[in-house]
Structure 1
């Protein structure tokens, strides 16, 4: 039985996929499977990923969605496939590897029966390296504060793209479709609150500061989404409150 399955959503990632890093990780790390979800890409993402699947048939699965469904559904498709595998833990990670594969693997070590949901956090500390553009940091902190108030739990960073779960917990959290294509992470927290109760969140959900997170120049989230982000948050709050 594999220890961990990591879902990696991909949309037009042909210029950003660091295939050499994926190959190195797969060669030196056993018991981990990578599931790439090609979310209707219009570039050469699929062509770049196919040789990787051929080279590592026991460790790499390529899921090809015929049309773009958005990050939330791409992740959900991948997680549902990962849940079908004989793995103990499942998680997802951004394709640009802002959080490295190695760090994601280390975070998975904290996932256990008593802490079935673990996620990375871009907390700036004296002994880590978190590089974010200043304007993204400021907007991100504003949004994060609003989200924390909505959830009514003390959480610093719900939006970091590295989260790992026990297989059983993932089955519950990813069963239904998401309301938002980009803010589905917030929905995961609301679903977890509904599943275990708000008092248990501090005991069963673990937020772990990352050692390194490097912002990428070509973000998948466009600046124009800023207005719709707030509409999505309102929609999510009304649905889950």
Structure 2
């Protein structure tokens, strides 16, 4: 199988592990990396151009003019890979590689080994092998309880930044802008569950414990954003309780600098 990985980037120039990305891309020609520069104000754009210049065959850099949040960056990158490549799976990883390529490979192995699986989530909350900051864990547990009430799904960790999907689901997952800038993982679950039904969705879904996860400083989800989580979850619940889910791939926005071809004009911020 061929695989595509979206790496959303916002002011990540100091945290990008260049050697790790370059080594991985060179060693895995059947895996396409799509970096999405989400309107960064630092030197992220030139840093990504450096990676692209060194590994041109299976690396793309997709530039979004105005910062619109991780949800939009992942959505644009996944839609680009769906349109422009023939990869069999499309997933995403955090730019700081708190979940590394080895652990992401475990998710890919699961979806390759079981053809009934179309969705695999990495999980930091299963198996007990990963230590987390107690304060962050307390907040996380509260958010997790709210998410379970909204989704009615017993998933241990919806917010882990490592997920993989079969390409057939991409139009459904990314057909329209997300309600939230950060909690789009919850929206993905609601879109799939609402369209397929809970029983059918659970047959194609696996939550796989990660063998390793490293907390990286510099998270873009700061305290100010964290305080907005309850209101964001309420907005998500209301939106998906009242609206129908339609399937259509989003039109291209931004610029693919890998091919140096214009896709559209500047992105407007999608909240």
Return structure 1 stretches of 4+ with deviation > 3 angstroms.
none
The two structures have a TM-score, normalised by structure 1, of 0.95
The answer to whether structure 1 residue 115 and structure 2 residue 143 are counterparts is no
Bigger shift: residues 171-180 or 196-205 = 196-205
Give the distance between the partners of 1:192 and 1:198, measured in 2 at CA.
8
Offset at residue 227 of structure 1 (A)? 2.4
Offset at residue 124 of structure 1 (A)? 5.0
The answer to whether structure 1 residue 194 and structure 2 residue 164 are counterparts is no
Give the distance between the partners of 1:110 and 1:125, measured in 2 at CA.
17
Hey, what does 1:66 align to over in structure 2?
Answer: 65
Structure 1 unpaired stretches of 5+: none
How many residues matched? 238
Give the distance between the partners of 2:59 and 2:136, measured in 1 at CA.
33
Offset at residue 58 of structure 1 (A)? 1.1
The answer to whether structure 1 residue 56 and structure 2 residue 58 are counterparts is no
Map 1:158-173 to 2 at 5 A: 158-173=158-173
Offset at residue 202 of structure 1 (A)? 2.5
Give the distance between the partners of 2:24 and 2:92, measured in 1 at CA.
16
Hey, what does 2:252 align to over in structure 1?
Answer: none
The answer to whether structure 1 residue 37 and structure 2 residue 36 are counterparts is yes
Give the distance between the partners of 1:62 and 1:71, measured in 2 at CA.
15
The two structures have a TM-score, normalised by structure 2, of 0.85
1:214 is paired with a residue of what secondary structure? coil
Q: For the Cα contact (< 8 Å) 2:37–2:61, is it kept in 1?
A: yes
Q: For the Cα contact (< 8 Å) 2:126–2:156, is it kept in 1?
A: no
Bigger shift: residues 226-235 or 108-117 = 108-117
Give the distance between the partners of 1:132 and 1:21, measured in 2 at CA.
24
Give the distance between the partners of 2:86 and 2:239, measured in 1 at CA.
33
Hey, what does 2:104 align to over in structure 1?
Answer: 104
Give the distance between the partners of 1:25 and 1:226, measured in 2 at CA.
33
2:120 is paired with a residue of what secondary structure? strand
1:224 is paired with a residue of what secondary structure? helix
Give the distance between the partners of 1:61 and 1:231, measured in 2 at CA.
35
Q: For the Cα contact (< 8 Å) 1:131–1:215, is it kept in 2?
A: no
